[in-house]
């Protein structure tokens, strides 16, 4: 494809995202699926244009409004042109030449677009006059919440969230150890390095078509961010235990929990969406997992929970959240979310956590996880749970880390907060609680 055709494709996909409200990766995948003639290199360049717009939409819109140039409000075309000029440093002549209206290429620039391109030519993406939310490419309503977490470190963390995410693989311990998986990938020409925190992780040196690799097809590795791997490891799901993945989704953490159990014991993967559990089934079979029962729940208050009260050693709750920690992979999500979404999620998280807690036996553990950066979804939820459940106590993360991963945890407090800038992972939060019982030991005891 020529540059103009790639620009046209990026504009088409962006229009689809803006009109339909679906996640960007779904819209892009559908677009490429209907156009099999677009090769891997072209898809990568088109996606690059697209994600530059999604990552920096606030700054792009600020510039489009600032220069005016007699143009209308920001739309897909103007945003793509602005991204090419400001973030990708295209000369304006290249944009004009690429938009000549020939087959597969965008129509020529309008008079207003010509003025816009001329006004933005030679400028950089950021400007001292930008408000803080714009300079950090976050929605204005979210800025106070993020400032509360990061304070003076906000710019560094938001810059890391605006970068592209690496591809991390989790070694499936049911089929291989890290050395064997590493060798299998190397035999197929795939370069990896060990992840810094997860003892079962490998990070790709560059992107690769994983679905074509024997190591992936044979279940030796699974795609999973290092932060997500850490969350599953901290659950300390061991062989012979009874474990619940309460919000299993498509099964990424279910697979990790099952690997820790070595196919011994019972693992129940629960979700309210049958289609997500069906997708999990395919992944479980590829990984060689044999101890998982998939169960569709009507809600977090399903009668199944009451019937199995205090019946499990570990209950893992990957709670629904705003997903602010995943913006490296899903930058479009930050522009879809609104303040009311946070207001609706907080009581839902509380209900899910309280209901899941009923499943934990005395001495067992409840693990609360989000891919959120916000205190409202993380520390505040953990503290509210403890205040309302005197039969549970916190397990300091440093103790759980020593038991499961070994060495010193990258956090000194009771909870674990991982961020892209500090740890090179997606944003994750982990809180671990133990149910106090007559025969249970102090959950703060690191030897437990």
How many C-beta atoms lie closer than 10 Å to residue 342's C-beta? 19
Distance CA 426, CA 423 (A): 8
Cα atoms found within 13 Å of the Cα of residue 389, Cβ hemisphere only: 24
Torsion of CA 47, 49, 50, 53, to 10 degrees: 150
Do the beta carbons of residue 284 and residue 313 sit within 8 Å?
Answer: no
Distance CA 138, CA 363 (A): 42
Q: b/e string for 283-298 if b means 16 or more Cβ within 10 A?
A: bbebbebebbebebbe
Let me know if 103 is exposed, middle or buried by CB neighbors in 10 A (0-12, 13-18, 19+): exposed
How many degrees, rounded to 5, is the angle at CA 263 between CA 196 and CA 355? 80
Classify 426 as helix, strand or coil.
Answer: coil
Catalytic residue among 99, 270, 321, 371: 371
Let me know if 371 is a catalytic residue.
Answer: yes
The β-bridge relationship of strands 266-271 and 292-296 is parallel
Distance CA 448, CA 180 (A): 31
Distance CA 246, CA 305 (A): 10
413 DSSP 8-state letter: S
Classify 171 as helix, strand or coil.
Answer: strand
Do the beta carbons of residue 182 and residue 198 sit within 8 Å?
Answer: no
Q: Do you know the residue count of the chain?
A: 448
Q: Give the residue numbers annotated as catalytic, written as ranges.
A: 371
């Amino acid at each position: 494809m020529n540059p103009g055709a790639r620009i046209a494709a990026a504009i088409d996909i962006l229009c689809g995202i803006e009109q339909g409200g679906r996640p960007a990766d779904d819209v892009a995948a559908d677009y490429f699926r209907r156009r099999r003639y677009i090769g891997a290199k072209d898809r990568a360049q088109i996606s690059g244009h697209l994600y530059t717009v999604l990552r920096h939409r606030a700054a792009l819109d600020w510039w489009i409004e600032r220069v005016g140039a007699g143009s209308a409000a920001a739309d897909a075309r103007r945003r793509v042109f602005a991204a090419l000029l400001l973030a990708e440093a295209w000369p304006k002549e290249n944009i004009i030449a690429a938009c000549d209206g020939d087959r597969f290429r965008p129509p020529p620039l309008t008079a207003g677009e010509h003025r816009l391109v001329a006004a933005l030519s030679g400028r950089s993406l950021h400007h001292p006059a930008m408000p803080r939310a714009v300079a950090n490419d976050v929605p204005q309503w979210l800025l106070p919440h993020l400032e509360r977490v990061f304070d003076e470190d906000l710019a560094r963390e938001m810059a890391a969230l605006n970068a592209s995410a690496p591809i991390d693989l989790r070694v499936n311990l049911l089929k291989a150890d890290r050395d064997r998986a590493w060798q299998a990938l190397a035999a197929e020409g795939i370069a990896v390095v060990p992840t810094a925190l997860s003892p079962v992780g490998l990070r790709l040196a560059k992107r690769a078509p994983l679905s074509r690799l024997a190591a992936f097809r044979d279940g030796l590795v699974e795609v999973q961010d290092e932060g997500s791997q850490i969350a599953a490891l901290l659950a300390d799901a061991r062989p012979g235990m009874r474990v619940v993945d309460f919000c299993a989704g498509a099964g990424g953490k279910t697979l990790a929990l099952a690997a820790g159990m070595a196919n011994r014991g019972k693992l129940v993967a629960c979700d309210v969406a049958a289609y997500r559990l069906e997708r999990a089934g395919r992944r479980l079979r590829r990984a060689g997992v044999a101890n998982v029962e998939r169960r569709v729940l009507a809600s977090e208050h399903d009668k199944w929970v009451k019937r199995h009260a205090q019946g499990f050693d570990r209950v893992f709750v990957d709670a629904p959240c705003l997903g602010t920690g995943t913006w490296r992979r899903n930058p479009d999500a930050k522009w879809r979310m609104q303040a009311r979404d946070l207001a609706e999620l907080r009581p839902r998280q509380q209900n899910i956590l309280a209901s899941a807690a009923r499943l934990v036996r005395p001495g067992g553990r409840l693990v609360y996880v989000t891919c959120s950066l916000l205190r409202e979804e993380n520390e505040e939820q953990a503290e509210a749970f403890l205040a309302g459940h005197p039969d549970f106590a916190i397990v300091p993360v440093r103790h759980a880390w020593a038991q499961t991963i070994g060495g010193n945890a990258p956090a000194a407090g009771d909870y674990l907060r991982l961020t892209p800038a500090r740890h090179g992972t997606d944003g994750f939060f982990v809180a671990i609680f133990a149910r106090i019982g007559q025969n249970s030991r102090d959950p703060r005891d690191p030897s437990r």
